[in-house]
Amino acid sequence: MTNDETTTHRLTLLGAGVMGVGIAALALGHGVPVVLIDVDPARLDRARGEIDREVRRARLMGALPAGRVPGELRTGTSVAAAADSTAVVEAVTERADLKVKALTEAAATVGDGAPLISNTSSIPIGELAAELPRPEALVGTHFMNPPSLIRQVEVIRGPDTGEAAMAAVTALLAAMERRAVVVRDAPGFVTSRVLHPMINDAIRVLAAGTASAAAIDTLMEGCLGHPMGPLRTADLIGLDNLADSLTVLHERTSDARCAPCGLLLEKVRDGHLGRKSGRGFFEYTEAGA
């Protein structure tokens, strides 16, 4: 795919956190121009450096197309900067009210043909769409971290999602050389509904003193074929994000396994959020490394 083909897409990302940065790096590395929006100017300043590092790492690992001219990155603190976008991805905190607010503002700014995409890990798309002026425009896309290295994307079709929105999202993912795996709407969809309770169980095993964090991850990797153990995965997700996702699942399914366990909540209260803070279930030499 040439740069002419990728620049037919103009992506706006709402939220400059871990996933916003990761999705931006993926898009830019494939030649798609990006507007990154966050209410915190300091967060946007840090995001530029983080995105540059992500793009360089992905290029060194051969995860980006050779010879592709990177897309242009613009930043802003207002959704007004998204006016000419062909798609908007919301990647804010895992709270339905904040997601609805961000998506509603975007819907009032972009053209009617632009899909609204929520990168929620757990909240049903139908629940969010019910609060929007154009429910047919909303699609769920659950990118895995880091987006530049994982080629499959879980795509959630809500009960009101229209064909035009699905086609536009599929085309955007194809421009970024990502395979869309479409699933039905439900709390946690497939990946979070399976993975997050399992991680919660692993944390309970750690809290019970059955094994160390390193031993748990080594057994899950070596015996059960997990590419990364559940506790390092938790650190990569962000322990605050994991706790929020589990809370959403518990509230909407009443599954006791989804209630965030005490050790997880303790880590969050102490500010030990995983890689992004430099310490979680493991320690990292550089926050975000």
Just list the catalytic residues.
142
Question: How far apart are alpha carbons 215 and 179 in whole angstroms?
Answer: 34
Strand blocks (E) in 101-259: 116-118, 138-142, 152-157, 179-184
Closest to 189 (Cα-Cα) out of 220, 158, 149: 158
CA distances from 48 to 25, 35, 81, 275 (A): 10, 11, 17, 18
Contact 114, 120 (CB under 8 A): no
Question: How far apart are alpha carbons 160 and 119 in whole angstroms?
Answer: 17
| Torsion sign, CA atoms 173, 191, 262, 212 | negative
